[in-house]
Structure 1
Amino acid sequence: MSKAGRTAGLIGAAVGVLAAGAAAGVAFERQVIGRRSGQRKQLEAEPFGSLRGTPYIFTADDGVELYVEVDELKRSRRQPPPRRLGRRTPPPLEDLTVIFAHGYGLNLDAWHFERRDLAGIGTMVFYDQRSHGRSGRSARENISIDQLGKDLYGILERFAPTGPVILIGHSMGGMTIMALAEQHPELFGDRVIGVGLCSTSAGGLDRVPIVFPGKVGMLARALATPTVAALARIPDVVERSRKAGTDLSYLLTRKYSFGSEVPPAFTEFVNEMIAATPIEVIAEFYPIFALHDKYEALEPLQKVECVVIGGDKDHLTPFDHAEEIVRRVPGAELVEVKNCGHLGLIEHHREFTAALLGMIERAEQSLGGAG
């Protein structure tokens, strides 16, 4: 491979991680590269990607086929709910549906821990966003946050046609929920009784520096879109590097996704999801985040139980973006997780799941009180 090809491949690996949700800075610690030692045994037993539900294919309004998995609530309400997080979850509403929307560059398996620890809370619906995971590729002209909102509306109508619904989104998935609120505000406080927003933003991402702080980071942001677009024109070169499992790729994933030391298995899991997202998809979606502005769409969230969770070391959707959402949604709970990067739903999954469970409990209680 030529020197230019190797360089493009490495840049492609970096861009793929950046896009999927990164913090800032890459430190080449030798102890991290030493993941192949006994340190790997820490979480070898965690079955990432093995939690599977009943599969479905849902056709979006523009014909794109979305891959969906449903974990049905099969347990009788008379049986005690599973013990999770050191306490018992409340008896589930018979017809409660919880829908999860994942972030950019990932897939539905990103919810591994939440899926495991919230099992039994209700029927749970997971889906791969268009062009991600097992879902079909979208036409370029239909790649937008608004279209993702339309996709979510279709998923809700198809898989939760009746009964109360709770929506949970990470990063781009949180933006998807905001788009739905803008398009169908009548759902909130009626069908939708609770919302969980994880590591996300309602706008202003074009003013967030990437890789480096200050003016240098803003220059990097300005160069990112044309760089990603250029890399998308040589996908074979880029994909060979991204899927090679190199030490550089591993380090980039770890440093750009987490805010603390995490078990190697966490990084490997995220690295695999990112590498499975084609560079063309990364390039097609990246520009939509600079255009994202859903501040005015937040008003319907005041009608439901809402929790906004963020990490203090998230440099892609900084915590002050979570604070701004809560400022515009009076009554929403704000949860700051310390030493936490953009992928807190994996890095600090116990804290994220506990906050989501609290929101679900309050939503169910408020519904019971209303009845």
Structure 2
Amino acid sequence: MSKASRTAGLIGAAVGVLAAGAAAGVAVERQVIGRRSGQRKQLEAEPFGSQRGTPYIFTADDGVELYVEVDELKRSRRPAPPKRRLGRKLPLPPEDLTVIFVHGYGLNLDAWHFERRDLAGIGTMVFYDQRSHGRSGRSPKDGVSIDHLGQDLYGILERFAPTGPVILIGHSMGGMTIMALAEQQPELFGDRVIGVGLCSTSAGGLDQVPIMFPGKVGMLARALATPTVAALARIPDVVERSRKAGTDLSYLLTRKYSFGSEVPPAFTEFVNEMIAATPIEVIADFYPIFALHDKFEALEPLQKVECVVIGGDKDHLTPFAHAEEIVRRVPGAELVEVKNCGHLGLIEHHREFTAALLGMIERAEQSLGGS
């Protein structure tokens, strides 16, 4: 690989990390940080990406095919769910409760690995890859917007939860997707939608969040990120070759911008693999929409449902102040701050995130008169 190609790839990796909150590298060199036999044992002990449901293809209103997996609630005998790793039994759900999970930028539905594992039995659970992500089809450029993601979510809800109560849970861009749905279909909230979980997300003002460095230098880096990503998207073959080659830099950036504490190396590897599946063109297409994101007025319908907003105190991409601002505009919402937690808290501190989500689900069920 030429020096120019490697340099372009490193820049692509760095910008991908900053934009997506993860990394653009897929496999770091075996001899670097954490890539030892212990990591392989961790991967074997926690088989990330192995949980699979019934697969479906849902066609969005503009023709984009979205990949969906459904974990059906077994209704034949409906025994009380077994004790989970949270240390208590999950509540017996209403017959037709559906929980829809919406992942973040640059990730895919496997990002919910721990929540999917520990909330099994809470109801029918629906997971899908957002347009252009994971196994879903590529979106046309005019379909790349938070508003279009909200329309996709509405279609998923109508198709996979046509009746009964629904709970929506979103991480980062997934949380923004829920806000777009609230803006477009406010009548759903308090009627069909009975609960919302917002994880490491923002209602707006992300264009004022510095990246890489604090203060003015970080804001300059943010200003340069969009044209840099766009330039890299014009040489995708060069960038993708370097990403697949892997670098120490991509690994370190993943760890820094995804996590706020020391995590098992397998966690970083897992995030790397998800991000590496997101082409640089998709990173470039979606990155500018976050600076335009403004859904503060769309938060009002969330006052009608049980709502929990969870964030990390070391999240550099959607700082905890953004979670606080959401709760300020949604009186009655629960605010959960997770210490030593970065942007991928749903993986890093999955027990805390799952416990907070379970509490919201239980309260939402109680509002229906459920157990």
Describe the SS at the equivalent of 1:33.
coil
Residues 1:23 and 1:334: Cα distance change in structure 2 (over 3 Å): farther
CA contact (8 A) 1:77 1:91 kept: no
Note the C-alpha offset of 1:242. 1.3
After superposing on structure 2, the runs of 4+ consecutive aligned residues of structure 1 that deviate more than 6 Å are: 23-32
What percentage of aligned pairs have identical amino acids?
A: 94
CA contact (8 A) 1:104 1:171 kept: yes
Note the C-alpha offset of 1:23. 11
Residues 1:32 and 1:195: Cα distance change in structure 2 (over 3 Å): farther
**Structure 1 stretch 217-226 or stretch 253-262: which is displaced more?**
253-262
Alpha-carbon displacement from aligned partner over 1:262-307 (angstroms, at most 9, x marks no partner): 0011000000001110000000000000000000000000000000
Residues 1:111 and 1:363: Cα distance change in structure 2 (over 3 Å): same
Note the C-alpha offset of 1:40. 4.6
Note the C-alpha offset of 1:45. 1.3
Alpha-carbon displacement from aligned partner over 1:7-53 (angstroms, at most 9, x marks no partner): 10111111222222159999999996243243553453101000000
CA contact (8 A) 1:168 1:174 kept: yes
TM-score by length of 1: 0.95
Residues 1:186 and 1:167: Cα distance change in structure 2 (over 3 Å): same
Residues 1:34 and 1:100: Cα distance change in structure 2 (over 3 Å): closer
Q: Which residue does the alignment assign to 1:64?
A: 64
**Structure 1 stretch 245-254 or stretch 84-93: which is displaced more?**
245-254
Q: Give the distance between the partners of 2:273 and 2:250, measured in 1 at CA.
A: 10
Residues 1:49 and 1:42: Cα distance change in structure 2 (over 3 Å): closer
CA contact (8 A) 1:101 1:170 kept: yes
Q: Give the distance between the partners of 1:28 and 1:150, measured in 2 at CA.
A: 37
CA contact (8 A) 1:196 1:356 kept: yes
Q: Give the distance between the partners of 2:286 and 2:25, measured in 1 at CA.
A: 23
Note the C-alpha offset of 1:368. 1.1
**Structure 1 stretch 35-44 or stretch 335-344: which is displaced more?**
35-44
Residues 1:37 and 1:47: Cα distance change in structure 2 (over 3 Å): closer
Q: How many residues align?
A: 369
**Structure 1 stretch 38-47 or stretch 11-20: which is displaced more?**
38-47
**Structure 1 stretch 123-132 or stretch 3-12: which is displaced more?**
3-12
CA contact (8 A) 2:312 2:342 kept: yes
CA contact (8 A) 1:81 1:90 kept: no
Q: Give the distance between the partners of 2:316 and 2:168, measured in 1 at CA.
A: 24
Describe the SS at the equivalent of 2:369.
helix
Residues 1:39 and 1:150: Cα distance change in structure 2 (over 3 Å): closer
CA contact (8 A) 1:82 1:120 kept: no
Residues 1:109 and 1:235: Cα distance change in structure 2 (over 3 Å): same
Alpha-carbon displacement from aligned partner over 1:156-190 (angstroms, at most 9, x marks no partner): 00000000000000000000000000000000000
CA contact (8 A) 2:29 2:246 kept: no
**Structure 1 stretch 21-30 or stretch 191-200: which is displaced more?**
21-30
CA contact (8 A) 1:77 1:92 kept: no
Describe the SS at the equivalent of 2:368.
helix
Note the C-alpha offset of 1:251. 1.5
Q: Give the distance between the partners of 1:285 and 1:317, measured in 2 at CA.
A: 16
Alpha-carbon displacement from aligned partner over 1:295-334 (angstroms, at most 9, x marks no partner): 0000000000000000000010000000000000000000
Alpha-carbon displacement from aligned partner over 1:88-117 (angstroms, at most 9, x marks no partner): 111011100000000000000000000000
Residues 1:90 and 1:33: Cα distance change in structure 2 (over 3 Å): same
Residues 1:291 and 1:82: Cα distance change in structure 2 (over 3 Å): same
CA contact (8 A) 1:210 1:221 kept: yes
Residues 1:83 and 1:36: Cα distance change in structure 2 (over 3 Å): closer
Residues 1:231 and 1:170: Cα distance change in structure 2 (over 3 Å): same
Note the C-alpha offset of 1:248. 2.1
CA contact (8 A) 1:84 1:118 kept: no
Residues 1:234 and 1:164: Cα distance change in structure 2 (over 3 Å): same
Residues 1:30 and 1:324: Cα distance change in structure 2 (over 3 Å): farther
CA contact (8 A) 1:145 1:179 kept: yes
Q: Give the distance between the partners of 1:261 and 1:250, measured in 2 at CA.
A: 13
Q: Which residue does the alignment assign to 2:168?
A: 167
Note the C-alpha offset of 1:142. 1.1
Question: What root-mean-square deviation, in Å, do the aligned CA atoms of Structure 1 and Structure 2 show?
Answer: 2.6
Q: Give the distance between the partners of 2:251 and 2:286, measured in 1 at CA.
A: 23
Residues 1:53 and 1:189: Cα distance change in structure 2 (over 3 Å): same
Q: Which residue does the alignment assign to 1:20?
A: 20
Describe the SS at the equivalent of 2:57.
strand
Note the C-alpha offset of 1:6. 1.1
Q: Give the distance between the partners of 2:104 and 2:110, measured in 1 at CA.
A: 11
Describe the SS at the equivalent of 2:32.
helix
CA contact (8 A) 2:94 2:370 kept: no
TM-score by length of 2: 0.95
Describe the SS at the equivalent of 1:251.
helix
Residues 1:52 and 1:42: Cα distance change in structure 2 (over 3 Å): closer
Residues 1:23 and 1:68: Cα distance change in structure 2 (over 3 Å): closer
Note the C-alpha offset of 1:245. 3.1
CA contact (8 A) 1:44 1:265 kept: no
Alpha-carbon displacement from aligned partner over 1:45-81 (angstroms, at most 9, x marks no partner): 1010000000000000000000000000015465x44
